[in-house]
Amino acid sequence: MGGWLFDPAHWSGPTGIPVRLLEHLGYTLLTLLIAAVIAVPLGAFVGHTGKGGFVIVGLSNVLRALPTTAVLILVVLWAGLGDFPVYVALVLLAIPPIMAGTYAGIRAVDPVTVDAARGVGMRESGVLLNVEIPNALPLIFGGFRGAALQVVATATIAAYTGAGGLGRFVFDGLALQEFGQMLAGAVLVALLAVLVDLGFAGLQRLTVSPGLRPVGTGGKK
């Protein structure tokens, strides 16, 4: 693996490691953005109103049960090769942890705090945006971090449709029986997953109030 990974020829050109790394990161970030647009409002609404919690649980379980590769193949058969099937499969994978984290975070906010906000005249939208969501951020970030790790690992299937990403090294190495290339691709995916998780941890530290951080991460004791 070391010989292939540290060969300068594999770090340049349109199929080099930096390009594939950026492609993989692009799949991950856009997937999380699309999933967040769907999952966060739904989880926040149900968590705030307390109605339809069974929908969140049921939908999360159904989406988690869907085999990502099978979804990818079905969309490829319907829409053809390209990035679209990849995003469909990855977004369906990312929605459950983000939606569940948002819902759980909102529901975990102290009812006394919520009642106090209503008591001073806050509208329901203000209670949600200014009280519940800020207090729910630790669990919301937990959902995003879980989704990010799953998406980074699973985005390797993009290569199955002829798209890019670090999965190209795994699939191309398998086709050519270059096991050093395959192993290098797997190691790069693992390293990217660690970096993405660290990035979310840093973002959480910057945006979450110190008093809401878990014990041992600079929060309240």
Concatenating the DSSP letter of every residue in 149-179 gives HHHHHHGGGGGGGT--STHHHHHHHHHHT-H
d(CA 63, CA 187): 28
The lowest-confidence range among 41-50, 128-137, 212-221 is 212-221
Return the pLDDT at 122. Answer: 82
pTM recorded for the entire structure: 0.85
Burial class (CB in 10 A: 0-12, 13-18, 19+), 82: middle
Count each helix (H run) and each strand (E run) in the chain, helices first.
Answer: 10, 0
When mean pLDDT is compared across 1-15, 56-70, 98-112, 157-171, the lowest value belongs to: 56-70
218 has a pLDDT exceeding 70: no
Judge whether residue 161 has pLDDT over 60: yes
* For the chain, percent of residues with pLDDT exceeding 70: 90
pLDDT of residue 160: 78
What angle do helix axes 167-176 and 179-207 make, rounded to 10 degrees?
170
**pLDDT score for 63:** 74
Q: Residue 179: what residue type?
A: F
Is there a contact between 43 and 103 (Cβ–Cβ < 8 Å)? yes
What pLDDT sits at residue 220? 46
Please provide the average confidence, as pLDDT, over all residues in the chain.
83
What integer is the mean pLDDT of 118-146? Answer: 87
* CA 155 – CA 212 distance, rounded (Å): 32
Output the pLDDT for position 221: 38
Is residue 151 very low, low, confident or very high in pLDDT (cuts 50, 70, 90)?
very high
Measured distance CA(76)–CA(72) in Å, rounded: 6
Among 2-11, 141-150, 173-182, which stretch is predicted with the lowest mean pLDDT? 2-11
- Asked whether the predicted pLDDT for residue 28 surpasses 90, the reply is yes
HEC secondary structure over 93-120:
HHHHHHHHHHHHHHHCCCHHHHHHHHHC
CB 43 within 8 A of CB 106: yes
Give the domains, in start order, of the chain with CATH numbers. Answer: 16-210 (1.10.3720.10)
Cβ contacts of 122 within 8 Å, gap of 6 or more: 130, 131
Across 24-33, 102-111, 114-123, which has the greatest mean pLDDT?
A: 24-33
Place of tokens 């079905």: 74
